Structure 1
Amino acid sequence: MGEGTRRGGADWQQWRRWVAARWALRRLPAVVPTAGDTWDERGGRGTIGGRRNDGIAGGADRQVPRLHLRRLRLRCGVAGDGDGEEDEAEGGGGVTNRGGGARLRDGAGAETAASEKATSLPTGGGDQRGFRAEETVSKHRLPLYIYSVQPSSTQFTHTHTPTERHANMPATASPPPLLLAAALLLSAALLCSACPVPLPQQTADNSPRLQRAYVALQALKRAITDDPKNLTGNWCGPDVCAYFGVFCAPSLDDPCARAVAGVDLNHGDLAGTLPFELGHLTDLAVLHLNSNRFAGGLPDSLPKLSLLHELDVSNNLLSGGFPQHILCLPNVKYVDIRFNNLCGPVPPAIFDKKIDALFINDNHFDFELPENLGNSPASVIVLANLRLRGCIPASVGRMGATLNELVMLNSGIRSCIPPEIGWLRELTVLDVSFNQLQGTLPESMAGMRALEQLDVAHNELAGHIPEGICALPRLANFTYSYNYFCGEPERCTALRRNDDRQNCIAGRPDQRPADQCLAFLHRPPVHCDGHGCLAQH
């Protein structure tokens, strides 16, 4: 078990309550809100975050395999994403995503499979700004006391969607015994910390905390210039806990005081800016503002949100440089700033933070992959559709105990694949397609025993496919088309999904013309140094 998965002492005691509060926000999507993102394998358009998937750096012809983002296991004790269902691509490629393998981690660090529920989210009617008319996100079966929390501003309806794995299981199947034990332990801990004396309803009129929250939320309402779904229509009066998209819970330092624990205005199509007064929400654990039209940058007061756990401002119109304030958030675990107009370098220090999920793709960032990339304890890192320079550093192998998914497609990487990539024993998804990778596939990749999806298409790789890669026990999808491979083991063609088109493999259909293959063979040989970089001649 990786170091990041062990939580104990005061650190766990602090976060267990805010994790429960996060899951009490019943209209929030699962921790990976876009697990159903789909792209067309053949380069057509797909659905990513609901909209704006045709503005990817490099052009629409580089919108290739979807982000198969699953099993995100936040190391604070919440379940990850993996819905076990197939999501059909809208882009015309017939691609499917298959989730699964969701985990729930209890306070002692144990894991158990969590069955899931699909929940329909209203989109405000019709297809607005490219939103899907109907969306579903996975929800995990959680302890009953969590489901008993009823935000006053939201009606939420659960619908059971049987998966292939659970097709014969009744919708009311009981959770596993370990899950029940974890639920009872956590419930007992929360009851022990509850306020001993019932208090009257708390509002901004009688609570300093909620008064500060009132100031922040009213400033946000004033900064919103267009609210087509009228999400903030009931943001009036001192009862901030009744505002739509605002969720309250007992504060960490005073169980008798209520505080604003989460704000979720996802998919609101809101236009405006993010005001400085958001820094007054010092008890905030979850800030979800994705799929809106917020412009400008994140407020300078962001570091005041010292309890912030999840930050999702993806799919907006944010501009400027990388939000450096994220580096000052001591407890943030989930950072999603993808699909914005952010530009410039990305500070290497972001890979030193104990972040579990980092999504910075589909911006205009231009930076060199730092050597400390391997310091990150993240389980998911997505660096797709950026402008990356340099080599894939050998330090990537140091993430072997924690990294589950690494996506760096269409990012201009010009290097070899370092042999240390084979140390990623927990990796399930590796996508480095649409780059300028050269050399051969390292034999060490035969040690990536958890690998399920591997995509190295549209590069300049050559040589023979190592047989050990195609023998990986979980590999179900191996795409290596549009390279210059000259040989493949027979067992590669037996994989459930295999794409070897446009290579130089004798006897296989749909290969490159012979003159292209001969011209490639007459190029000077590629030499890779010990760090995976192209050696200088």
Structure 2
Amino acid sequence: MRGREEYVTKACMERQRLLSGGNARGTDRNHVKARWKESARGAAQRTVLGDKPNRNRTAAQYASAVLPSVRSISLETHSVLITDALTSSPSLLFLIPLRPHQGSIPLSLSPANKSAIKQRVGEFVVLAVVGVYAEAVLTVLDAAMREFAGTEDMIQNTMSSTMSIEILLPYFFILLSLFFSLPSPASPKSLLPLPPLIFADQRLAVVYPIIQKFKTIIASDPRNITKTWVGADVCKYRGFFCDHPPDNETAIALASVDFNGFQLIAPTLEGFLDSLPDIALFHANSNFFSGSISPKIANLPYLYELDISNNLFTGSFPDSILGMKTLSFLDIRYNLFSGSVPPQLFTDETLVALFLNNNNFMQRLPDDLGNNRLLYLTLANNKFFGPIPRSIAKSMSSLTEVLFLNNMLSGCLPYELGLLNKAVVLDAGNNRLTGEIPFSLGCLENVEVLNLAGNLFYGMVPEVVCELGNLANLSLSDNYFTHLGPICRSLIMKGVIDVGNNCIPNVPFQRPVAECAEFFAQPRYCPYSETYSYIPCLLPHSSFPPLVQPAPSPS
């Protein structure tokens, strides 16, 4: 894609060719600039203000004579804040007297960020700036071309001089085109229309107004991200990334949005996210987006990663996500969603990562929780209740991380948890689970983190669990365990196992005896406790051989 500077240079060359009646020579930027100035000076002698320009005319008089569709604002202060009148304006025209000036130049209006075209007419400089929006502070805009005397402070981005200026602002804007023209019936060649934005691909032209509209509703941008969202080169906007779409390898399309950590504030993503036709990845965690998710998101044919975590979204789970046939990664954690999650979500065979943690979901875990191909399942810090379903064993060939912590789960651990031989992290801490630990957990050969703390477990801690070769953290604190074998005890000194606040004799920091007695005075029952001694795998480093009793199949 041609850079913005190259485009402006070539546009100036074309204007020079038209004004001089011949072909522009060379590609040297200084040559083009010199020819452009020469032509502009010639235009100053034409009939816009008469054959002999009246150098005593003011900018307001010039405007009333030449540009009846604009009004004049005389600035004696250093700057003016452009308000709602410019919200939909794609460009501005400025007429500036040829005399010294003063004020500051906003960074967003520097040549690196704006397309500017300048010529002299009579005693005035005409500067057209493309891509100006309501948040811009406009000051000495002719200095943006870096042609006037003065000292520049790069930190403050200011330039000082001696006198004030007059700026002419258009009072009527339309979006029928992406450029602003200067009508001058008396001299059609003296003031030419600005060129339209030229996009590398029609697909980029489609998303350009969508991005610009979204920009107008952003209430806060502390990192000045949106200042880069200017011009036709959408692929260079910060947070936007382009690629060749699947349906056309020669086309260029907006493929990815990454707003992670930008801290943008906007009331909604509706009309933006759901309107990007070629989007494949949308990552926007750690912002302040709110509202709900549009049902139209289901119409995006390529979206396979959606991360809107750590925002302020509310309402129920966005059911429109269920209609997305390509989605493989869904992260909506750390929001304010509530209600229930559709059971169909847990049987979606395209999803490989599902992060629902830290919302306000409240429902029973679905019986077919394991009927999927998930690698990551995170339900932590919600209000899910009921037992962990035995169908979780159906995820044995894929599930790598499963987080149930900080919910309201109850019942006993199913034997089938031990079949998750791909699991690296298994966390069911801080629930209401009870019963003994199944020996089958000794088959979790890849597990590194096993957290069962903060529940109502009791009985002995199986030595086969403490023998797991990759185990780095086994948290069993705040339960009612009563027995700990020598292998498990050796892990206490290594800092691998935490068994504090249990009922284990001769181990420090345990519950009071009376508290333990009160707990065991209540009857305890697990419906499938007979399966707890089954070991469905070969344990090469254990004294416990695999038991041959047939294990019950998941229901």
TM-score if structure 2 supplies the norm length?
0.58
Aligned partner of residue 481 in structure 2, secondary structure: strand
Aligned partner of residue 276 in structure 1, secondary structure: coil
Matched, 1:390 2:390: no
Code of the residue aligned with 2:369 in structure 1: it is L
* Alpha-carbon distance between aligned partners in 2 of 1:431 and 1:278, rounded to the nearest angstrom: 33
Match of 2:468 in 1: 472
Match of 1:336 in 2: 331
Matched, 1:282 2:277: yes
Please list, as runs of the form range in 1=range in 2, the aligned pairs for 1:237-252 lying within 5 A after superposition: 237-252=231-246
Aligned partner of residue 209 in structure 1, secondary structure: helix
TM-superposed deviation, 1:257:
1.0
* Alpha-carbon distance between aligned partners in 2 of 1:243 and 1:483, rounded to the nearest angstrom: 53
Please list, as runs of the form range in 1=range in 2, the aligned pairs for 1:158-307 lying within 5 A after superposition: 205=199, 207-272=201-266, 273-307=268-302
TM-superposed deviation, 1:250:
1.3
* Alpha-carbon distance between aligned partners in 2 of 1:289 and 1:526, rounded to the nearest angstrom: 46
Aligned partner of residue 410 in structure 2, secondary structure: coil
Contact 1:368 1:390 in 2 (8 A): yes
With a CA cutoff of 8 Å and minimum separation of 6, indicate the structure with the bigger relative contact order: 1
Contact 1:216 1:279 in 2 (8 A): no
Cα–Cα, structure 1 residues 511 and 244, in superposed 2: closer, same or farther, change >3 Å?
Answer: same
Match of 2:517 in 1: 518
* Alpha-carbon distance between aligned partners in 1 of 2:313 and 2:344, rounded to the nearest angstrom: 21
Code of the residue aligned with 1:450 in structure 2: it is N
Of the three residues 315, 337, 352, the one matched with 2:347 is: 352
Identity fraction in percent: 38
Code of the residue aligned with 1:318 in structure 2: it is F
* Alpha-carbon distance between aligned partners in 1 of 2:278 and 2:518, rounded to the nearest angstrom: 63
Match of 1:505 in 2: 504
Task: Give the paired residue count.
Answer: 331
* Alpha-carbon distance between aligned partners in 2 of 1:494 and 1:214, rounded to the nearest angstrom: 63
Per-residue CA deviation, residues 150-203 of structure 1 (Å, 9 max, x unaligned), is: xxxxxxxxxxxxxxxxxxxxxxxxxxxxxxxxxxxxxxxxxxxxxxxxxxxx97
Aligned partner of residue 225 in structure 1, secondary structure: coil
Of the three residues 403, 407, 430, the one matched with 1:407 is: 403
Aligned partner of residue 217 in structure 1, secondary structure: helix
TM-superposed deviation, 1:238:
2.2
Matched, 1:321 2:316: yes
Cα–Cα, structure 1 residues 417 and 203, in superposed 2: closer, same or farther, change >3 Å?
Answer: farther
Contact 1:245 1:263 in 2 (8 A): yes
Cα–Cα, structure 1 residues 514 and 223, in superposed 2: closer, same or farther, change >3 Å?
Answer: same
Contact 1:216 1:277 in 2 (8 A): yes
Match of 1:368 in 2: 364
* Alpha-carbon distance between aligned partners in 2 of 1:228 and 1:293, rounded to the nearest angstrom: 12
Contact 1:318 1:342 in 2 (8 A): yes
TM-superposed deviation, 1:204:
6.0
* Alpha-carbon distance between aligned partners in 2 of 1:392 and 1:304, rounded to the nearest angstrom: 34
Cα–Cα, structure 1 residues 252 and 203, in superposed 2: closer, same or farther, change >3 Å?
Answer: farther
Per-residue CA deviation, residues 69-102 of structure 1 (Å, 9 max, x unaligned), is: xxxxxxxxxxxxxxxxxxxxxxxxxxxxxxxxxx
Contact 2:386 2:408 in 1 (8 A): no
* Alpha-carbon distance between aligned partners in 2 of 1:258 and 1:205, rounded to the nearest angstrom: 10
* Alpha-carbon distance between aligned partners in 1 of 2:443 and 2:385, rounded to the nearest angstrom: 27
Match of 1:380 in 2: 376
* Alpha-carbon distance between aligned partners in 1 of 2:485 and 2:360, rounded to the nearest angstrom: 39
Aligned partner of residue 263 in structure 1, secondary structure: strand
Contact 1:223 1:275 in 2 (8 A): no
Aligned partner of residue 430 in structure 1, secondary structure: strand
TM-superposed deviation, 1:206:
5.9
TM-superposed deviation, 1:377:
0.8
Code of the residue aligned with 1:451 in structure 2: it is V
Matched, 1:446 2:442: yes
* Alpha-carbon distance between aligned partners in 1 of 2:377 and 2:393, rounded to the nearest angstrom: 14
Per-residue CA deviation, residues 129-159 of structure 1 (Å, 9 max, x unaligned), is: xxxxxxxxxxxxxxxxxxxxxxxxxxxxxxx
**Stretch deviating more after TM superposition (523-532 or 409-418):** 523-532
Rg: which structure is higher?
2
TM-superposed deviation, 1:219:
2.5
* Alpha-carbon distance between aligned partners in 2 of 1:476 and 1:449, rounded to the nearest angstrom: 12
Per-residue CA deviation, residues 291-337 of structure 1 (Å, 9 max, x unaligned), is: 00001011222112221121110000000110112112211111110
Code of the residue aligned with 1:284 in structure 2: it is I
Per-residue CA deviation, residues 327-355 of structure 1 (Å, 9 max, x unaligned), is: 12211111110000000000111112221
TM-superposed deviation, 1:443:
1.4
* Alpha-carbon distance between aligned partners in 1 of 2:378 and 2:478, rounded to the nearest angstrom: 22
TM-superposed deviation, 1:393:
0.3
* Alpha-carbon distance between aligned partners in 1 of 2:243 and 2:200, rounded to the nearest angstrom: 16
TM-superposed deviation, 1:254:
1.4
Contact 1:204 1:214 in 2 (8 A): no
Code of the residue aligned with 1:446 in structure 2: it is G
Contact 1:204 1:210 in 2 (8 A): no
Code of the residue aligned with 1:507 in structure 2: it is N
* Alpha-carbon distance between aligned partners in 1 of 2:530 and 2:231, rounded to the nearest angstrom: 60
Aligned partner of residue 413 in structure 1, secondary structure: strand
Provide the alpha-carbon RMSD of the alignment: 1.8
Match of 1:424 in 2: 420
Aligned partner of residue 468 in structure 1, secondary structure: helix
Cα–Cα, structure 1 residues 215 and 472, in superposed 2: closer, same or farther, change >3 Å?
Answer: same
* Alpha-carbon distance between aligned partners in 2 of 1:207 and 1:405, rounded to the nearest angstrom: 42
TM-superposed deviation, 1:403:
0.5
Please list, as runs of the form range in 1=range in 2, the aligned pairs for 1:111-126 lying within 5 A after superposition: none
* Alpha-carbon distance between aligned partners in 1 of 2:462 and 2:197, rounded to the nearest angstrom: 65
